[in-house]
Chains A and B, each alone.
Chain A
Amino acid sequence: MRAAGLESPSLLRRARAGGAARAYLRLFVAGFREQAAYQLAMFGGLVANVTFGFLKVAMLFATVRAAGGTVQGYDIGAMSAYIWISQGMLGSINLNGRIDLADRIKTGDVAVDFLRPINVQLATVATEAGKAVFALIPRGVPSVAIGALVVGMSAPGTAAPYLLGAVSLLIGITVSFSTVYLVAVVGFWLIETRGIQIFYMVISGFFAGLYVPISLFPTWLLVVAQATPFPSMMMYPIDVLTGRVTGAASYGLVCAQLGWLAVTLLAGHLLTVAGRRKLEVQGG
């Protein structure tokens, strides 16, 4: 009777779900720790972030001053916060469209991944997000600290933007990888995805708000940007973290992020299922 109860479908499903969640958590931690091996790379990345940061400070501060002290609501302090947080996030958000999975699909190694009792899509996103969160320590935090110390920046005085901002940051990182995953799985059909990857690389940074805040875009371009998942990766977390958007509007941004996360994960799932079928037909 007891044994039968334990094997009831709902309990079994719950036990499996718990095990799977732990597995993805372990992959996340593995990704996090793998990244710790590349200390020199992290230092190089920090140097790049800081150099670009100072160049952007020069250009964007000059813009704010030329506009008479504020441009689209950004004063010097707010612009500085935008610059240094965006530079700090750069090592954690995938804006180049490259991901190891693309090579595994091209070579057919991905067939081995499908044999494992784990969801390829969720495992990929979890591992990559783990690497990305690690990069916040050697690249993200120091970039923001250097900016705050050397240039100065404004920061919200209440706890809410930081708490919601941390959540928004994590979702932003995940959206970037759930979107890059889409670029990789198109490889089931195209084999060579370099063209799409380059296209992603050109578009993503521009619309994510890496070069200038998207509020500086003319309206038509802002509308185009908002119709893509890219602002969810970088611009929205920055807006929430810096307190530029507060209250209900900040929850609205997080909801938009969650929406894009759901859309990209679902699209990734559907493409994975279809791609796997194609892989089986080809005998890969």
Chain B
Amino acid sequence: MLASRIRSQRSYRSNFAFDLASSGFVGLIELAEVWLLFHQVTVLGGLTFQQVLLVFGIADLCNAVADLFVGHCDTLPTYVRAGTLDVFYLRPQPLLLQLMTSDISLRRLTRAGVALASLLIGLSINDIHWSVGAVGLLVLTIVSAVAIFAAMYVWAAGVQFFLIQGAEFTNAFVYGGRYAATQPAAVWSTPLKVLFGFVFPMALSAYVPALRLLGLPGPAGLPTWLAWCTPLAALWIWGFALLMWRLGVRHYQGGGG
């Protein structure tokens, strides 16, 4: 099923090439936003630009990978409005799984590429004391962060069953969270630390593990031993996501098709 999706996207070659280019461009512009601030000052939230590359790289890479597989869940309102979601119910496969594989967007690969480059540069130019623990932490962080971002798309999709016209409400946390994850959380106010540190564990997806790798102290409220808790954060947000998805699917009455 996956292979067929991939083949279908490569069939329109020029459009696919343009999609790849523009998606990579999105990643570059996002990196440029960060760079512009460091163009004015050398240290922001306790990090230099070289160090922020690591935070940006982890967060954006994991987000792009999650986006590749589940990002299109936010097109759910379109399916609901058009009544085409009912077709998914007819097939003998779990609804969420069908939705996840309905549109694997390969164009998002180039954005992941920009993020990967940022991560690799961040890993090589910073003074990281490499050990088994550090490698383990990096791997654990990347796996957990992909799971965290994927869960963000899933809970948002579940809530869409109720909102239909209110996609921007969930965008505030899904895309706001993506933006938050690339920031040094030391600059946040307490309410932001609660919201994007723990409720939606964005700070744990990249910033806190990056601090741990760099051997830097954590800001108030975010000690760096939390870096080892990213799997717990992923479990929490997946629990929340599946609950919201279940509520949403139960709420759905069908398009009357």
Chain A residues with CB below 8 A from B196, complex form: 55
- What's the minimum C-beta distance from B81 to chain A, rounded to whole angstroms? 13
- What's the minimum C-beta distance from B9 to chain A, rounded to whole angstroms? 13
Report whether B41 and A71 are in contact in the complex, using a CB–CB cutoff of 8 Å. Answer: yes
Chain B residues with CB below 8 A from A40, complex form: 163-166, 169
Chain A residues with CB below 8 A from B45, complex form: 62
If A62-B187, A66-B44 touch, does A216 touch B37 (CB 8 Å cutoff)? yes
What 0/1 pattern do residues 28 to 71 of B give for CB contact below 8 A with A? 01001100110111111100000000000000000000000000
Report whether A48 and B169 are in contact in the complex, using a CB–CB cutoff of 8 Å. Answer: yes
Chain A residues with CB below 8 A from B252, complex form: none
Whose C-beta in chain A lies nearest to the C-beta of B191? Answer: A54
Chain B residues with CB below 8 A from A202, complex form: 22, 25-26, 29
If A51-B176, A52-B172 touch, does A44 touch B187 (CB 8 Å cutoff)? no
Sorting the interface of chain B by its residue count into under 10, 10 to 19, 20 to 34 or 35 or more gives 35 or more
Report whether A47 and B33 are in contact in the complex, using a CB–CB cutoff of 8 Å. Answer: no
Chain A residues with CB below 8 A from B168, complex form: 41, 44-45, 47-48
Distance in angstroms between the alpha carbons of A210 and B43 in the assembled complex:
22
| A212 interfacial by beta-carbon distance below 8 Å | yes
What 0/1 pattern do residues 161 to 180 of B give for CB contact below 8 A with A? 00111111111110110011
Sorting the interface of chain A by its residue count into under 10, 10 to 19, 20 to 34 or 35 or more gives 35 or more
| B188 interfacial by beta-carbon distance below 8 Å | yes
- What's the minimum C-beta distance from A114 to chain B, rounded to whole angstroms? 27
Chain B residues with CB below 8 A from A195, complex form: 15, 18-19, 22
Chain B residues with CB below 8 A from A57, complex form: 189
Whose C-beta in chain B lies nearest to the C-beta of A197? Answer: B22
Residue in A44, A50, A192 whose CB lies within 8 Å of B171 = A44
- What's the minimum C-beta distance from A42 to chain B, rounded to whole angstroms? 9
Chain A residues with CB below 8 A from B41, complex form: 63, 66-67, 71
Residue in A43, A61, A216 whose CB lies within 8 Å of B169 = A43
Report whether B189 and A216 are in contact in the complex, using a CB–CB cutoff of 8 Å. Answer: no
- What's the minimum C-beta distance from B44 to chain A, rounded to whole angstroms? 6
Report whether A55 and B25 are in contact in the complex, using a CB–CB cutoff of 8 Å. Answer: no
Number of A-B contacts (CB under 8 A): 106
CB contacts under 8 Å to A, within B225-245, are none
Whose C-beta in chain B lies nearest to the C-beta of A38? Answer: B165
Distance in angstroms between the alpha carbons of A44 and B44 in the assembled complex:
31
- What's the minimum C-beta distance from B61 to chain A, rounded to whole angstroms? 19
Chain A residues with CB below 8 A from B173, complex form: 51
Distance in angstroms between the alpha carbons of A218 and B36 in the assembled complex:
8
Which of B29, B175, B187 has the most A CB atoms < 10 Å from its CB? Answer: B187
5 closest cross-chain pairs (CB), A and B: A44-B169, A44-B168, A48-B172, A44-B166, A62-B187
Q: A40-B165, A43-B166 are in contact. List 15 more A-B contacts (CB 8 A).
A: A40-B163, A40-B164, A40-B166, A48-B171, A48-B175, A54-B189, A54-B192, A58-B187, A58-B189, A61-B187, A66-B41, A192-B15, A195-B15, A195-B19, A212-B37
23 contacts between A and B (CB under 8 A): A40-B164, A40-B165, A41-B167, A41-B168, A44-B169, A44-B172, A48-B169, A51-B172, A52-B172, A52-B176, A54-B189, A62-B45, A63-B44, A66-B41, A194-B15, A195-B18, A195-B22, A198-B19, A198-B26, A202-B25, A202-B26, A203-B29, A212-B36
Residues in A lying within 8 Å of B, measured CB to CB: 38, 40-41, 43-45, 47-48, 50-52, 54-55, 57-63, 66-67, 71-72, 192, 194-195, 198-199, 202-203, 206, 211-212, 216-218
